[in-house]
Amino acid sequence: MNLPHSAMEFLPDALQRLRSGGTIHFYFVSERSSAEETMAEVKSLARESEKSIVVSRMEELKTYSPSSSVFSADIVLVDRS
């Protein structure tokens, strides 16, 4: 989902369409100090959608402003067994 400013609003839809084991490549812009908080929001949103996810990778891609960066995360949908 290469929409770093508005990806969060499309995430519930993407999670509903994703099959178990599938991966969402999630891009977002965040303050460097708040990137983990953004991923906590993603996990919370998944729980609200009754989906179970694992963040298999997260990395800072490039600087966006003096205090913000563009990040990428791989979100994998897992079975709730």
What is the pTM for the complete model shown?
0.87
Cβ atoms of 11 and 42 closer than 8 Å: yes
Would 2 be classed as within a structural domain?
no
CATH number of domain containing 26:
3.40.50.150
pLDDT at residue 24 greater than cutoff 70: yes
Would 1 be classed as within a structural domain?
no
Would 19 be classed as within a structural domain?
yes
Average pLDDT over residues 6-29: 95
Task: Give the domain extent around 68.
Answer: 7-78
What pLDDT score was predicted for residue 13?
Answer: 94
Overall number of domains in the chain: 1
pLDDT in tens, 27-63: 999 999 999 999 999 999 999 999 999 999 999 999 9
- What is the spatial distance between Cα 38 and Cα 10, in angstroms, rounded to a whole number? 14
